[in-house]
A and B are shown apart, each in its own frame.
Chain A
Amino acid sequence: NAGVMQNPRHLVRRRGQEARLRCSPMKGHSHVYWYRQLPEEGLKFMVYLQKENIIDESGMPKERFSAEFPKEGPSILRIQQVVRGDSAAYFCASSPGDTREKLFFGSGTQLSVL
């Protein structure tokens, strides 16, 4: 399966712990996007990265959240000191290039904060 791979599918954390969400884009794609979906809401853009560069992080909360897409390996969305309000489905998407093109989404990581 050459689709966008996200892991873990489910992640449970206690308040104050760190959450690390991983995303491997489709083969040949060098552009990664992270979206968050709160219950009963649509997906909200968080950040757009190319290899080793953050291009647009206008949707990222200013504190506790960070993202990277290293030269080698998957993209990581990191949430420090999680709070209950961080509980959501986090989706990663990739595209081959031109941002006008459709995005290919992974199956998401469901984060639950106890």
Chain B
Amino acid sequence: AQSVTQLDSQVPVFEEAPVELRCNYSSSVSVYLFWYVQYPNQGLQLLLKYLSGSTLVKGINGFEAEFNKSQTSFHLRKPSVHISDTAEYFCAVSEVRTSYDKVIFGPGTSLSVIP
């Protein structure tokens, strides 16, 4: 069964500094990968996704992520963060299947942007 690890539970970073949120996964088959953002008391919003093709994926709000199959990683990056980026970030994986696509989430990383 697939699983997702986000090693950093909390990441504080100063405004306008770069940030990287780490995500590693395990699966015995090919996967699709996602990053979601959650603002307080709201549902999750998709930031970006990797289905196939280029391993560098660009998403909304200036975020990007790179799929590394050999390291089974999908780290999220932003070159310059803003106060409004303060939120919870979830990495997720879905195994490539023909029947259904159950999405499994990591435990989340809380990003705090310090002014």
Binding partners A and B: no
List residues of chain B with CB under 8 Å of any chain A CB.
none
